[in-house]
Structure 1
Amino acid sequence: MTLDFWFFCIAGPAVLFAGISKGGFGSGAAFASASILALVIEPGMALGIMLPLLMLIDVSTLRPYWGKWGASEVKLLVAGGVPGVILGALLYKIASPDFFRLLIGGISVGFVIWQLGRSTGWIAAGKRSLPSSAGLFWGAVAGFTSFVSHAGGPPAAVYLLSRNLSKTQYQATTVLLFWTLNAVKFVPYAFLGIFTMETMTADLLLAPFAIAGAWIGVKAHRLISQKVFFGITYLLLMVTGTKLIWDGLT
């Protein structure tokens, strides 16, 4: 990996985008930053660079949203997410990332289509929120996919978007969830050798982009209406789901 001008032309905007997504729009699209980095460096190295930066964004956004999350939702997602991370660590060497990209991408796109069908009246059934027990399942999926590709946002969104939370409850829940999961991921990442001196050097140089993105995301969250917030969230979920499907097929 060469930390040259072209690297930062790609990595800087990617990390800034991750900060904005995690700081204001529910983390759903933040995983794309690792995919963008993987265009210019080895994918495993991209994961190693992004995790400390994602943790920095988590710390930067935790205070503005402290105590505003959905209590039952975050407990269930964390309870399912931690075992999901452990499973991801155990299966990291043999799991097929493409299979899970296709699975999560398909679920994400299908969920958005389902929600649009409900809102337009095309689909009359299934208007109840997902049960609380579903939080354990989607938390486990989020934990696993977060470990293998930092793509835990879409599975968490499938559950949270069905729970009729306010925009700030939704956002705060994702902040606390991924603050916890990313902290849990750090130790197995270290044991797997994903962190190197090169990745840590890149993290130090990219840290300002992460902090700036988090700040922009928090400000944007406060300025936009709840209707616009969820519109953007559904759009990001559709885009990231499509991107996951494309990555899995290609």
Structure 2
Amino acid sequence: MELTAATILVAFAGVSLICFMKGAFGGGFSIVGIPLLSIVMDPVTAGGLLAPLFIAMDLFALRYWKPSTWSKPDLLLLLPGLLAGIGAGYLLFRFLDHRAIAILMAVVTLIFVALWFAGDGSVAIQPRSSPKAIGAGLASGITTMVAHSGGPPLAMYLLSRGLSKEIYAGTTSLFFTVGNATKAVPWLLLVGPTGNVWTLMAICLAAIPAGVWLGWRLHAKLDQRQMYRIVYALLIVSALKLLWDGVSGYLT
């Protein structure tokens, strides 16, 4: 990858957008910023660039999403599936077709959002469920490892729990802090970043504090229904991006 002014500006903007999402919603929508990075580098290089940066973003975001904002009983059920999913995602990344995984996850997400709209935008609150939580953690682990897109499976589970906006964001933040720390080494082994990528990482670190803070400020101004509407809108964007990645991969 050539380190040009355009590469630096676009990467900085993409990282800033991802940081903003982490501050506003606790994480899970990193895929929204990846298309920007894909303008100046291939998606796999973008994944290798982001993997260590996610850890720095998460640690900074935990300044705002403190333990009082974590749903610990849900996390206890979600995290084992997440870790298993990252291991499975590593194997899938090496040996299986990423495009099919992207298409499947996109279709499931779009069905979930369609059901929400069919219910007049109401959230059907469901009790905590071990099988559902483990399944959501597993699916999130696989997709976060394969495509940095673990948000939709987790959101589908947590939105159904009817958590307050603070607990939703805080639980999501810690979930992806664990996931991003776990997948960083496998991603670096798969990608093997060059010297220019490491230099770009160092430059993009400067985007993290302001991006997370601005997102957190937006979160504070949203009411509960606004928060949920935006999350569902982001699910649509994420799903359409996954669908495009999968389908276009078969066409090229």
Identify the residue that residue 25 of structure 1 maps to in structure 2.
25
Q: Deviations over 1:41-63 (max 9, x none)?
A: 12221101111121111011112
Q: Which amino acid aligns with 2:146?
A: V
After superposition, what is the alpha-carbon deviation per residue over 1:48-105, rounded to whole angstroms, capped at 9, x for unaligned? 1111121111011112111111112212221100011111122321222211111111
Q: Residues 29-178 of structure 1: matches in 2 within 5 Å?
A: 29-67=29-67, 68-119=69-120, 128-129=126-127, 131-178=129-176
Preserved contact between residue 51 and residue 188 of structure 2 (Cα < 8 Å): no
Cα offset, 1:234, TM superposition: 0.8
Higher mean C-alpha deviation, range 110-119 or range 188-197: 188-197
Tell me if structure 2 keeps the 8 A contact 1:28–1:237.
Answer: no
Q: For the Cα contact (< 8 Å) 2:47–2:187, is it kept in 1? A: no
Deviation of the 1:167 alpha carbon: 0.5
Q: 1:60 to 1:111 in 2, by over 3 A?
A: same
Using the alignment, how far apart are the partners of 2:200 and 2:96 within structure 1? 27
Residue 245 (structure 1) aligns with: 243
Amino acid at match of 2:184: F
Identity %: 32
- Tell me how far apart the structure 2 counterparts of residues 137 and 146 of structure 1 sit (CA, whole Å): 14
TM-superposed CA distance for 1:127, in Å, is: 6.4
Structure 1: which 5+ residue stretches go unaligned? none
Q: Please tell me the residue identity of whatever aligns with 2:168.
A: Y
Secondary structure of residue in 1 paired with 2:102 = helix
Contact persistence 2:126–2:162 (CA under 8 A): no
Determine the C-alpha separation between the residues in 2 that align with 1:176 and 1:127: 22
Which runs of no fewer than 5 residues in structure 2 stay unpaired?
Answer: none
Structure number with higher helix proportion: 2
1:70–1:140: structure 2 CA closer, same or farther, 3 Å change rule?
A: same
The structural deviation recorded for 1:198 is 2.2
- TM-score by structure 1 length? 0.92
Q: Which residue of the other structure, out of 211, 214, 230, is the alignment partner of 2:212?
A: 214
Q: Give, in angstroms, the shift of residue 171 of structure 1.
A: 0.4
Mark the CA change 1:182 to 1:128 in structure 2 (over 3 Å): closer, same or farther.
closer
* Structure-1 separation of matches of 2:11 and 2:40: 9
Letter in 1 for 2:2: T
- What residue is the counterpart of 2:14 in the other structure? 14
How far 1:225 sits from its partner (Å)? 1.2
Q: Partners of 1:163 and 1:98 in 2: how far apart?
A: 30
8 Å contact from structure 1 (residues 17, 213) kept in 2: yes
TM-score of the aligned structures, taking structure 2 as reference length: 0.91
RMSD over aligned CA atoms reads: 1.9
Q: Which moved more, 1:109-118 or 1:87-96?
A: 87-96
Contact 2:26 2:65 in 1 (8 A): no
